[in-house]
Structure 1
């Protein structure tokens, strides 16, 4: 039997996520990214469409590689201005019952002690519907904002991330025993001190001597997402991630990345099927093919090639303003987003990318394909994509917010349901329950070693 296809919506707390320029579109609401109603309306649309989650991207820093400064990013709203994604979640959770929230947080610039508290707080307030997309950052501008001259080297960041994860696992899984918050009104005891343990960690990057500030939340550790497909990123995902987000320009590229990720999971001693992989696509669905094509053409008229180049320059670390429009983009080693540079240089040896290609292709939906058609045509393409690549689901970018997602919920979801490829109701429980059938991390996960009474490791 064909597998169920999962959907996440992919968004960002900014007027220009992956389709720069669409804030000028007359039906687009992304310019109102700073109004809460934009997000609560979106959450309700997604839940009506039985989306598994809203995956909210984030970036710390500004895209200032193109032209040697932030002018292009500012002019075209290329992921700036950008607000904190985490502050959206409580309001969206309040107007929904099942929708999950995958929130991007950059551990390189975050105290593990405070990040652990914020995620525990949100896990309580959402009744267990929160996930953390673990990223290490990729912009030198973010490093300069934190007092460094440039970004920490790529593989060094992942080494720091390993220790960081050990700290937050100790806080989430090991500090409070189950039942520590007894809430005994008769004896006026809220917490049994004997069931709360100090976390003591002394490593090369972090020192902690404290109890976790939060009692155990429904998931304890939030659902763990990861989005790196470099060698270091795959190894990290193989050890830690429950869900992985990948992007790429073709099914062949995605299929190879899926295979590599599952091999990394196996090398870490995991069942490769225990990792859910979501790939980026943009779907433009209409009542008819002609209607969908009209909407796509309308979006192209509002697209911002300058914004696309500002984004890609930031992702790759290459100042594309110094290239000719028809000049081929070649691979160099740097500490930016290695997957993004791989996508337009070495990922597909048959395809040669020029600056003009990037300006046109990336202006709607980023680097991934855009599929346009009626419900039947798009469903055929989605099934073919999933079956070719081996992904478990899709992270769906939008062209027009929230219209793109309204069209998917109205037209595509019923068609996939008729084919038996999409759920008809939500499963009960936490986000992890819905995706994996359990509320807490599995016993194989490295976090489990930090639970009270766990066998000592190595």
Structure 2
């Protein structure tokens, strides 16, 4: 993956890591920055128009972004001023309304050649047989450029609308997801032999029945006889992405994820989790730890001068919606801050979760004298719970390098404040600086290639790597049915006993101030 202009690390021993860059979006208005749809330069409220998305996809491909990472939720943010009160989210447009993400992809893929598309779909609310078909279909239509961001869900509002009173418990959601992946691997990798489709016009055989078989999965949560209704797609198994750094989430990522989405306000927040996932992947599952790519959430506010960047950020914050931010915070954490007075110091409330979160933020932003719910809301109106960095191209590039060196990230999911303005600033101002430093490629490794090829940096690696669990299910050409084991290992229910993960954990602090890039408070 290194290009000819790759330079040395500070230690001078090895080439710099070239960054993976995805644009982080959602099929809604505003996404991570509630209220900024009001800004005169923002176009995110055009999300219902397919030409809006085609234009974005062309923009990202012209800049050689690896992919577009499309978030999703299946319910509204109804914790703030709750219970079950959607008013703040509805009024501010805080990820409401939100449309289905996968429907966007074929149109964008038809207008591009190499851009990948990572789509979020929750295992808890979708039957694996149905989702396997949908993802295989889109993998075919994109020529192998689709990825699946595997989530288990986190909103009770979604569960209520999908036949339950509340979500399954955190650990059970991961146990469901574990079995879900086994079903998917069997459908995608094991039910069709590579050469099952023969298209013999002389004999009239479209597919050879001897090369297709039932999977006959019988588990605790699913019974799926199969076979897969689609022939193998270019990637067979789409690129597998995952987010979640609870103990269960890390165990799941260590085994299955090819790219992991991490969020925190400084490299120190995510460094420990990245190290643990890499170590667990190697020691427990025999995977190459460097094959798992870690992408940090970041929202860069860039100006040609530091003053311009600071002024731009101040203007964005003025457009931010406080109640919308608190609605998002409530959905992300399960904490309703409306119960506290506007000027109440949150360091001294009874909630351990709130005190811990505020303590983490205060260490990273010591200039904030008093943490109130308004302070918290302002903190996340531009960029959400990830890092927001403000500065010149050189200063922001310094901050990107700091994340690489201190947290071992492989790249970033770039959130926007304004769409497409934030992305245009990244393309026109930041990417030339990154390329000058040897941190970003000049072109796709494989033009028209699979998403997995360009993310992994391995030309020809369309299918999961040999050390990935999906590969053990792969029914290769020439292997007779009786000689191929459809279940290559004992299937065990996930037994990780874990606490519920809260995104605004004690570690969720802001990056400390430094001249190379400013993270505003």
Partner of 1:307: 324
Partner of 1:446: 469
Partner of 2:346: 327
Superposition deviation, residue 389 in structure 1: 1.4
Q: 2:267·2:402 contact (CA, 8 Å) conserved in 1?
A: no
Deviation track 1:177-208 (CA, whole Å, cap 9, x = no partner) reads 11111112222221111111112111111011
Unaligned 5+ segments in structure 1 are 334-340
Superposition deviation, residue 350 in structure 1: 3.7
Deviation track 1:326-374 (CA, whole Å, cap 9, x = no partner) reads 32377668xxxxxxx8982676684696423320111011112211222
Deviation track 1:108-128 (CA, whole Å, cap 9, x = no partner) reads 000100100011011111101
Q: 2:313·2:390 contact (CA, 8 Å) conserved in 1?
A: yes
Aligned mates of 2:188, 2:149 — CA distance in 1? 16
Aligned mates of 2:63, 2:126 — CA distance in 1? 34
Deviation track 1:302-324 (CA, whole Å, cap 9, x = no partner) reads 11111110000011111111123
Partner of 1:337: none
| 1:203 corresponds to 2:219 | yes
CA 1:432–1:193 in structure 2 vs 1: closer, same or farther (change >3 Å)?
same
| 1:40 corresponds to 2:72 | no
Which of 120, 133, 148 is the equivalent residue of 1:104? 120
Aligned length: 451
Superposition deviation, residue 86 in structure 1: 0.5
SS in 2 for 1:66: coil
TM-score by length of 1: 0.94
TM-score by length of 2: 0.83
Q: How does 1:58-207 map to 2 (within 5 A)?
A: 58-68=72-82, 69-207=85-223
Partner of 1:29: 43
Q: RMSD between aligned alpha carbons?
A: 1.9
Partner of 2:498: none
Partner of 1:53: 67
Aligned mates of 1:118, 1:197 — CA distance in 2? 20
SS in 1 for 2:296: strand
Q: 2:36·2:418 contact (CA, 8 Å) conserved in 1?
A: yes
Aligned mates of 1:386, 1:125 — CA distance in 2? 34
| 1:289 corresponds to 2:289 | no
Q: 1:330·1:345 contact (CA, 8 Å) conserved in 2?
A: no
Superposition deviation, residue 269 in structure 1: 2.3
When Rg is computed on C-alpha atoms for both structures, the one with the higher figure is 2
Aligned mates of 1:257, 1:321 — CA distance in 2? 31
Partner of 2:455: 435
Aligned mates of 2:110, 2:355 — CA distance in 1? 40
| 1:10 corresponds to 2:24 | yes
Q: Using the TM superposition, name which of 202-211 and 251-260 deviates more.
A: 251-260
Aligned mates of 1:343, 1:285 — CA distance in 2? 31
Unaligned 5+ segments in structure 2 are 1-14, 365-369, 476-482, 491-521
Q: Using the TM superposition, name which of 361-370 and 212-221 deviates more.
A: 361-370
| 1:398 corresponds to 2:416 | yes
Superposition deviation, residue 279 in structure 1: 0.5
